Amino acid sequence: MQKSECHGDTQLRTRVRGNDDQRTSSSPQRKPRTTVQRSKSSSSSSASSPDAAIKVHPRPSDKLNPKTINPFGEQSRAPSAFAAVYSKGGIPCRLIHGSVKHRLQWDSPPENLSFDPLLITLAEGLRETKHPYTFVSKEGFRELLLVRDAPEKAVPLLPRLSPVLKAALAHSDDEVFERGLNALVQLSVVVGPSLNDHLKHLLTSLFKRLRDKKFKEPITNALQKLEQHGGSGSLIIIKAKIPTYCSICC
């Protein structure tokens, strides 16, 4: 009797083990994860963690390492000469923001100010492309030339003003060019024929811009103003540089 029971238990265990082996063989076998899969899993889990949302700040030592500095980054660009002077209070006026338009408020009346080097500094600011430098330089240059003794103050500065205005007229930015063109006309109104000695250096950029249709009319108007205030001497210079120009006397 005992032998039959033992024999039955043995058969039962054999059948159970066989069923387990069948289930094991029928179930899909999991392949061991590769190193790349484990790295992707760890990176995805770290990205979803709250610590990943915390922005890592650069170490102080990174500022001393040239490899970590972006030479084209905004923070690495030194301010322009005009911006540096303006930030130090070197321009004796401040910008007043109005609801319709802005205006300048001078620390003292413009007629009491020396043009040297203020007028040249404002001319250098014509190449600026950011507010408030664009408005301060453009409006400051215009208002300074409106004072009663502007001709006597501006004529001696023409040898230094000419290359500065030339740089604005040769600038690739359209708005900078327009400010330079307006400043050239304003200066011509004040100094008259005295500008003729420097005019040929300023007309090269105007001739190049004439190829752009949108500048044809404003440049033509500017040339007519230069001829009007520069006299017959200016016409000879203009025709030599821009043969297609038609005189206002025609």
- For CA atoms 111, 113, 118, 122, give the dihedral sign: negative
With cut-offs at 50, 70 and 90, classify the pLDDT of residue 57: low
Q: pLDDT at residue 78 above 70?
A: no
**pLDDT score, position 115:** 97
Q: pLDDT at residue 41 above 80?
A: no
End-to-end Cα spacing for the chain: 140
User: In angstroms, rounded to a whole number, what is the distance separating the alpha carbons of residues 90 and 100?
Assistant: 27
| Contact residues for 143 (Cβ-Cβ < 8 A; gap 6+) | 104, 106, 110
**pLDDT score, position 61:** 43
Q: Tell me: the pLDDT tens digits for 233-247?
A: 999 999 999 999 999
Is residue 209 within 8 Å of 177, Cβ to Cβ?
yes
Q: pLDDT at residue 2 above 50?
A: no
Token pair 């009007």: residue? 228
The Cα angle at residue 231 between residues 227 and 237, in degrees rounded to 5: 65
Q: Which two tokens stand for residue 167?
A: 């740089």
Looking at residue 86, the DSSP 8-state letter turns out to be H
Residue 204 — φ and ψ, nearest 5°?
A: -60, -45
With cut-offs at 50, 70 and 90, classify the pLDDT of residue 81: confident
**pLDDT score, position 129:** 95
Q: pLDDT at residue 127 above 60?
A: yes
Q: Tell me: the pLDDT tens digits for 24-33?
A: 444 455 555 5
CA 97 to chain centre: 23
Q: Does domain 79-241 have CATH number 1.25.40?
A: yes
| Contact residues for 209 (Cβ-Cβ < 8 A; gap 6+) | 169, 177, 215, 219
